[in-house]
Every structure is written in structure tokens, then in C-alpha cells.
């Protein structure tokens, strides 16, 4: 028995030291050659520019299999993949690729734009403000991250624009929620939401309508002091007589110094 064990041990030792490969084991697979990677990269870029997303992804996947992280094309590759996935409606996978670009090498020139595109991918998932705003909140968080990490860049300027667009959506969602209570004559609940909207998004496109509904709620409930305060705000910031100010006719409000009341 001991002799058999010695023979087996010797055979294993010989195999580990360069003997022949045991039968049934696969050969070690080498990655694609440099020329194969270059060819796939060229085909992938060509397909990407032509908007042939499936073909572009197929070629870029071949590049991923062999491109080392030290290659100067590495960041561009994952940016391309993010764009391809986004174009194909795979938003969350696109976020992963864009974040890879911005987080693995935050100093790379592509990083700010990649982070903006991650925000764009989330924002595209929140097209209708009346739906769950989770993705909208994620988009807002990412855009704010761009402003913090890359101030003064083109990416930061784009993020600021996108934040303004998102603010309009959040304001509209808040308005729709408040309007629900207003229509069902739950005026106190409506007032809380209208006031919250105006505090957070005072320059939103829907703000004048929110002010009108707020004034009407105060009038219905006979909240004289709140009405007076709101009409004073309207007189200062929305002086157009065709706007919310028309609802304040006959309401006595204090001027900006708070000393002399005047009728609006």
C-alpha cells in the first residue's frame, strides 16, 4: 500500500513540475490579442457613431475581455458602454458603467461628464412627475454630487441645468398633490402643501397657480392674517395685475417696511 501511495505522489509531483497536462483538463485560455482588441475597438466605434447599439455593444464586450485598465482607452470604453446601454433602455446598467468611469478615476477628464450621464439615466426613469419620485431623487443627488466634486466644469454647468429641470418636475408633483386636497375641500392639508411648494420652488412655473389656490384657500377658511401676508408677498414678487394679484383686490397689506398698509 505504501508503495502505491509513493508512486501516486511521485506522479503528481512530476505533473506539477512541468510534466504533461492531466487528461481531461482544458488548456488555459489566453485573452484576445492586441490586434483583435484594436479591430473590435474600431468596429465598435464605427457602430456607435452609426447608432447601431447592439453591434457596438457586441464589439465593446470583446474589447472588455482583453483591454487592461492601464490602456488609455479604458475610461472611454466604459463611457461608450454606458451610452450604448442607455440608448437600449438599460438605465440602471448604464448608471453602473458611468459611475465606474467617475469613481474609479475621479481625476479623469471624462469623469464629470460620466457622472452627469449617470444622473441623466436616473432622470429618464422618472418621466412622469405623478409617479414614485425615487429615481428623480437619485438623479437630483447625482447632479448635486457633480456640483460638489467638479465645480466650474462643463459637467457642473450641465448638472445645474438638469437640476433646474428636475425642480420643475418636483414642484409640479407637489402642486398635483396639493390640488387633490383642494378639490376635495381639505383646505388645511392643501395649504400645507402649497406653502411647502412655494418655500422650496418659489420660481417654478407652477408657483403662480399655487399662489392663487393658496389665496382661495385662505379666503374660504377666512384666515385673514395669512391672506394678508400672502397678498403682501404677491404684491412684491408677482405685481402683474393679471396674475395672482387680481385675487387680492381689497385686501389690506403692509408695505415692504411693514409700517403703512395699502390696499391692493
Looking at residue 9, its pLDDT comes to: 44
CATH of the domain at 191: 1.25.40.10
Looking at residue 254, its pLDDT comes to: 56
Looking at residue 105, its pLDDT comes to: 95
83 falls within a domain: yes
The average confidence (pLDDT) of the chain is 88
Q: What is the mean pLDDT of residues 212-230?
A: 96
Examine the domain organization and report whether 214 and 246 are in the same domain: yes
Examine the domain organization and report whether 75 and 144 are in the same domain: yes
10 falls within a domain: no
- Contact present, 36 and 43 (Cβ < 8 Å): no
Examine the domain organization and report whether 47 and 135 are in the same domain: yes
Checking if the pLDDT of 220 tops 70, the result is yes
167 falls within a domain: no
Q: How confident is the model at residue 30 (pLDDT cuts 50, 70, 90)?
A: low
16 falls within a domain: no
Examine the domain organization and report whether 56 and 141 are in the same domain: yes
* Total domains present in the chain: 2
Examine the domain organization and report whether 135 and 177 are in the same domain: no
14 falls within a domain: no
Checking if the pLDDT of 260 tops 60, the result is no
| Distance from C-alpha of 113 to C-alpha of 90, rounded to nearest angstrom | 19
Looking at residue 32, its pLDDT comes to: 80
| DSSP H helices in 17-153 | 34-49, 53-66, 74-87, 91-104, 111-124, 134-149
- Poorest-pLDDT segment among 33-37, 89-93, 172-176, 257-261: 257-261
What range defines the domain where residue 233 resides? 173-263
Examine the domain organization and report whether 182 and 258 are in the same domain: yes
- pTM of the shown model: 0.80
Examine the domain organization and report whether 46 and 142 are in the same domain: yes
Examine the domain organization and report whether 136 and 45 are in the same domain: yes
Looking at residue 20, its pLDDT comes to: 47
Looking at residue 29, its pLDDT comes to: 52
Question: 109-160, pLDDT tens digit by residue?
Answer: 999 999 999 999 999 999 888 889 999 999 999 999 999 999 999 999 999 9
Q: Would strands 252-254 and 261-263 be described as parallel, antiparallel, or unpaired? A: antiparallel
Question: 180-201, pLDDT tens digit by residue?
Answer: 999 999 999 999 999 999 999 9
Examine the domain organization and report whether 142 and 186 are in the same domain: no
20 falls within a domain: no
Instruction: Give the percent of the chain with pLDDT over 70.
Output: 84
**For residue 253, what are the β-bridge partners?**
262
181 falls within a domain: yes
Main-chain phi, psi angles of 24, to 5 degrees: 95, -15
Examine the domain organization and report whether 132 and 178 are in the same domain: no
| Distance from C-alpha of 119 to C-alpha of 147, rounded to nearest angstrom | 12
Looking at residue 262, its pLDDT comes to: 39
Residue 242, burial from CB neighbour count under 10 angstroms (0-12, 13-18, 19+):
exposed
Q: What is the mean pLDDT of residues 100-114?
A: 96
Examine the domain organization and report whether 128 and 207 are in the same domain: no
Q: What is the mean pLDDT of residues 102-115?
A: 96
Instruction: Give the percent of the chain with pLDDT over 90.
Output: 79
168 falls within a domain: no
Examine the domain organization and report whether 191 and 137 are in the same domain: no
Amino acid at each position: 500500500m505504501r508503495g502505491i501511495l509513493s508512486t501516486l505522489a511521485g506522479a503528481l509531483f512530476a505533473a506539477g513540475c512541468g510534466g504533461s497536462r492531466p487528461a481531461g483538463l482544458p488548456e488555459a485560455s489566453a485573452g484576445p490579442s492586441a490586434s483583435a482588441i484594436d479591430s473590435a475597438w474600431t468596429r465598435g466605434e464605427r457602430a456607435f457613431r452609426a447608432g447601431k447599439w447592439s453591434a457596438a455593444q457586441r464589439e465593446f464586450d470583446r474589447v472588455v475581455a482583453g483591454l487592461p485598465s492601464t490602456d488609455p482607452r479604458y475610461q472611454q470604453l466604459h463611457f461608450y458602454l454606458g451610452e450604448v446601454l442607455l440608448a437600449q433602455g438599460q438605465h440602471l446598467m448604464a448608471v453602473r458603467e458611468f459611475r465606474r468611469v467617475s469613481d474609479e478615476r475621479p481625476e479623469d477628464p471624462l469623469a464629470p461628464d460620466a457622472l452627469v450621464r449617470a444622473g441623466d439615466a436616473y432622470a429618464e426613469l422618472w418621466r412622469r412627475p405623478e409617479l414614485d419620485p425615487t429615481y428623480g431623487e437619485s438623479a437630483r443627488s447625482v447632479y448635486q454630487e457633480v456640483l460638489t466634486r467638479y465645480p466650474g466644469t462643463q459637467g457642473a454647468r450641465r448638472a445645474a441645468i438638469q437640476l433646474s429641470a428636475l425642480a420643475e418636475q418636483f414642484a409640479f408633483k407637489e402642486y398635483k398633490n396639493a390640488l387633490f386636497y383642494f378639490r376635495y375641500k381639505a383646505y388645511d392639508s392643501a395649504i400645507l402643501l402649497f406653502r411647502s411648494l412655494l418655500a422650496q420652488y418659489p420660481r417654478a412655473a407652477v408657483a403662480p397657480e399655487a399662489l392663487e389656490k393658496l389665496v382661495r384657500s385662505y379666503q374660504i377658511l377666512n384666515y385673514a392674517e395669512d391672506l394678508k401676508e400672502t397678498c403682501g408677498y404677491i404684491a412684491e414678487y408677482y405685481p402683474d395685475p393679471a396674475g395672482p394679484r387680481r385675487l387680492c383686490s381689497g385686501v389690506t397689506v403692509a408695505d415692504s417696511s411693514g409700517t403703512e398698509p395699502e390696499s391692493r
